[in-house]
Structures are given as C-alpha cells and as structure tokens.
Amino acid sequence: MSDKKVIAVVGATGAQGGSLVRAILDNKNAEFKARAITRDVNSEKARALANAGAEVVEADVNDLQSLVKAFEGAYGAFCVTFFWEHFSAEKEKLHAKNMAEAAKQSGVQHVIWSSLEDTRRWIPLSDDRMPTLQDKYKVPHFDAKGEANAFFTDRHLPVTILNTSFYWENMIYFGTGPKKGENGKLAITFPMGDKRLPSISCEDIGKCAYGIFKRGSEYIGKTIGIAGEFISGAQMAAALTKALGQEVVYNDVPPEVYRSFGFPGADDMGNMFQFKRDFEKEYIAGRDISLARKLNPDLQDFGTWLAKNKDRIPLE
Ligand SMILES: NC(=O)c1ccc[n+]([C@@H]2O[C@H](COP(=O)([O-])OP(=O)(O)OC[C@H]3O[C@@H](n4cnc5c(N)ncnc54)[C@H](OP(=O)(O)O)[C@@H]3O)[C@@H](O)[C@H]2O)c1
C-alpha cells in the first residue's frame, strides 16, 4: 500500500478538511491515502481519524516549518484557513501565505486552496452601501481569501482554487437554523430578499475536492466554484417546513439590521449576505452545480441534505 499518493489535509478535524479525509478513507481501494493535519494528535477527533486509517500529523498554520514537515513527501495538499477562530483577515492571509510557502518548499504536485471571492472587485471600499471593515475589507472573510489566491499563483504552484459556498451545516453548528420569533413561529433570518443563496453540504466540499485530486492535472491552474443548490430564503423555509413538519417562515431583514445583531462577526456576515444579494447574478455565475456533480456524483440538494440531517438542527 506504500505506493499510494498522500494527500495532506489541513483542518482535518474540521468541516471541510474532515469531509475530504472521510472521502479518501471511504475509498480504500483508490490511489490516495489521507494525512490528517491537526494541532493535537491526541485530541478525540484526531484519534478517531487515526483509528479510521488516516496518518495523523501535527502542524499549526502559524508555523511555516511545521507545515513544511507535514506536507513533505505528499503528492497533494488541501489548504483551508479558519477565519471564525480569530475573525482577522490579516491572520487569514498570513496562514494562507504559510501554506502556499510550505507547498512550494515541500514540492507537492497538486494543491487545492479553499477560497472565496474578493468582493472588492464588485464593491470597492469607496462604495458606501456597506461599511468598510478591518480598515480595508468589505467582507473580510471573503476578501482575505481572494487576496490570498496570489500567494499560490505568484509561487507558480500547481494549484486549483476552489471557491466554496455557504454550508447548510451552519444550521446545526453556526446558529443560522430556524429560531422562534416573538409570534412563536419558527423563522430563518437573513438579508437576501428574494435572491438565491448558493449553498452546499460541507460533506460535499470534501467529496468535490477528492474528485479534483482524482482527475490529476485536469483542474490544475483553474479556479472553480461549487454549490449544491442556488436557493432563496423562501424556498429554504418551504423545504424546512416540509422536512420538520412544522411551519418555518423566511424573515428577510435589511443588511444593516443583520449587521447589528451583535454576535461576533455579524457585521462581516451582514456584508456577505448583502454582497450575495446585490450581486446575485455575478456570484452565482462563479459556481457550477453540474461541475460539482461531475466531481462528486453524490452531490446533495437542500431537500436531500435535510432528509438526512433535519434531526441534527437544534430547534428552541
Ligand atoms: N461556514 C460556512 O458556510 C463556510 C462556507 C465557505 C467557506 N467557509 C470557510 O471555511 C473556513 C473554515 O473551514 P472549516 O469550516 O472546515 O473549519 P472548522 O470546521 O472550524 O475546522 C477548524 C479545524 O481547523 C483546525 N485549526 C484551527 N486552527 C488551526 C491552526 N492554527 N493550525 C492548524 N489547524 C488549525 C482545527 O483542528 P485542530 O483543533 O485539530 O488543530 C479545527 O478542527 C473559514 O475560513 C470559513 O470562512 C465557511
């Protein structure tokens, strides 16, 4: 089995990286094996990955040398940053730079960089429809990733830039699921008007990444965007109503109201939804559901995902 190609996966105990590790482990006869990267090889999640058959190694995205070591001898590297751990666009860029440099120094043959658009291409800082955040960003967790693309391309790495989409799992882990309003009705709340939100199950992100690695050089040097469905708030509420067996309504709020909700990162999320609303056509044009399905034939739409996961969504 030693002739299998190693894919080194950053964020392996998390959502995106974890889904890629599972996709590799689920295909035991395939040409790849998974090297799971974690800061703590003794954590419960890391031990579970080792028990499932992954090689588990330690590295920290703050520490270039630890990444070089973790990538060494690997064929591929999956790189992702963790904005919601620190809320800092500058840190996110530093971490992306470290991963790009580690990929260069270790000579991996294929890098997937999990990215998002730099929204300033559409909304320059001078556009005051939304506030500028962290001094030089409109949507910090998008803009930093988009800006960081250059760390990979300037080093002439064999990279596929993978633009992901909003996870449906946010309804389970990130508080975006239905909540009871003052009228006692369950509602999902976000400022998208009647526009469609490109979204996906994060399990499918890993499976699509696996599909990219499996296709060898086909997607090297390319930027691709994936989603499971383009779905409006009203359509999401209707699907939730059907799956949960109780009425869920869509509560469209103005972006400035969403930005004022007060949870950490509400301003960034408010700007993000506003960008997706105001540039629906352009944002959707950057994502291709049929390509995602080609890479991952198991790709789910929201209804399919809900049928499997509705009981995991916490309801008050
Ligand atoms: N939520 C969404 O809808 C969505 C959609 C598109 C893109 N994104 C982006 O996805 C990214 C997060 O990915 P995710 O959801 O897969 O994250 P996640 O589930 O929160 O995973 C985080 C994992 O990263 C590891 N980690 C954290 N800090 C680290 C460090 N300093 N060095 C090495 N590893 C570290 C942790 O592993 P250990 O504790 O084992 O070290 C943890 O398990 C964010 O940048 C976000 O903007 C999110």
Percent of the chain with pLDDT over 90: 97
178-190 confidence digits (pLDDT tens): 999 888 999 999 9
Question: Is residue 38 in contact with ligand 1, taking CB distance under 6 Å?
Answer: yes
Question: Is residue 14 in contact with ligand 1, taking CB distance under 6 Å?
Answer: yes
71 vs 289: CA distance, rounded Å: 31
Mean pLDDT estimate for the chain: 97
Q: What angle do CA 125, 131, 134 make, to 5 degrees?
A: 75
Contact 69, 59 (CB under 8 A): yes
pLDDT for 28 equals 79
Question: Is residue 201 in contact with ligand 1, taking CB distance under 6 Å?
Answer: no
**Closest residue by CA, ligand 1 atom 18:** 14
Question: Is residue 168 in contact with ligand 1, taking CB distance under 6 Å?
Answer: no
Residue whose pair of structure tokens reads 């916490």 in the numeric block: 314
Atom of ligand 1 nearest to the CA of 60: 32
User: Hey, is 210 helix, strand or coil?
Assistant: helix
pLDDT at 24 over 80: yes
Give residue 2's pLDDT band: very low, low, confident or very high (50, 70, 90). Answer: low
Closest CA to 232 of 198, 185, 279: 198
42-53 confidence digits (pLDDT tens): 999 999 999 999
Rounded distance from Cα 156 to ligand 1 centre (Å): 25
Decide: pTM greater than 0.75.
yes
> DSSP for 239-275?
HHHHHHTS-EEEE---HHHHHTT-STTHHHHHHHHHH
Sign, Cα dihedral of 55, 61, 65, 68: positive
Question: Is residue 42 in contact with ligand 1, taking CB distance under 6 Å?
Answer: no
Over residues 151-163, mean pLDDT: 98
pLDDT at 10 over 80: yes
Contact 40, 73 (CB under 8 A): no
pLDDT for 109 equals 98
Closest CA to 175 of 77, 266, 277, 285: 266
61-92 confidence digits (pLDDT tens): 999 999 999 999 999 999 999 999 999 999 99
Question: Is residue 142 in contact with ligand 1, taking CB distance under 6 Å?
Answer: no
Atom of ligand 1 nearest to the CA of 141: 47
12 vs 96: CA distance, rounded Å: 16
> DSSP for 124-145?
-TT-TTS--BTTTBSSHHHHHH
Q: How many CB atoms lie within 10 A of CB 87?
A: 16
Atom of ligand 1 nearest to the CA of 142: 47
Over residues 256-263, mean pLDDT: 97
pLDDT for 80 equals 99
